[in-house]
Amino acid sequence: MAINVELIRDSYNNYVVDKGDELIEYFYDDLFSRYAEVKPLFDETDMPSQKKETSGLFEVPC
């Protein structure tokens, strides 16, 4: 089965690039909702900076 690179690129652009802020917001909301015990680890964290760093994990050179 051939890999459809264009489909992967389009999906990445539609869901990660275009909705990256929403994805990161969902990630942390879900993390703290499922694992409330980890939330205190972030008490002194600058969350806007943390979210920006986390979003960098999804950057893929094309």
In a domain, 51, yes or no: yes
Q: Enumerate residue ranges in the chain where pLDDT < 70.
A: 60-62
Backbone CA torsion sign across 51, 23, 14, 7: positive
CA distances from 36 to 30, 50, 58, 60 (A): 10, 18, 24, 30
In a domain, 4, yes or no: no
CA distance 60 to 62: 6
- How is residue 58 written in tokens? 């999804």
In a domain, 18, yes or no: yes
pTM of the model: 0.70
In a domain, 3, yes or no: no
Identify the pLDDT of residue 27.
92
* 43: containing domain: 12-56
Identify the pLDDT of residue 11.
84
